Amino acid sequence: MKKIIFIALLSLMMLASCSKSKEFDINGKKTSVQPYGIFNMKSANDSVNYELSIPDVVLSVVFSETLVVPLVSCGFYLWEPISKK
């Protein structure tokens, strides 16, 4: 029973990232800017300031034994957009 609860909790945590996308007015167009991480650094927008997502880091540390959660959290959602440059 504990394994089932743990797997269900782990699945929910994988689907719910702490970093969220934000919309900014860039060059007169409303653009949705996604968070990025180690694996997708090329998707970072040069006209947006990013900040380290502390909740994603904490989530990675808490679930560090699983290896999957830290890879997804730090790999794709480590930096979140905060403001326009």
Q: Is the pLDDT of residue 12 over 70?
A: no
Cα–Cα distance, 36 to 43 (Å, whole number): 7
Q: Provide the percentage of residues in the chain whose pLDDT is more than 90.
A: 12
Q: What is the pLDDT of residue 53?
A: 87
**0.85 exceeded by the pTM?**
no
Q: Is the pLDDT of residue 16 over 80?
A: no
Over residues 8-17, mean pLDDT: 64
The amino acid that residue 15 corresponds to is: L
pLDDT band at 26 (very low <50, low <70, confident <90, very high): confident
Contact 33, 81 (CB under 8 A): yes
Q: What is the pLDDT of residue 15?
A: 59
Output the six-digit token pair for 76.
């794709």
Which stretches within 1-85 are classed as H helix? 2-15, 54-62, 68-76
User: SS3 for 24?
Assistant: strand
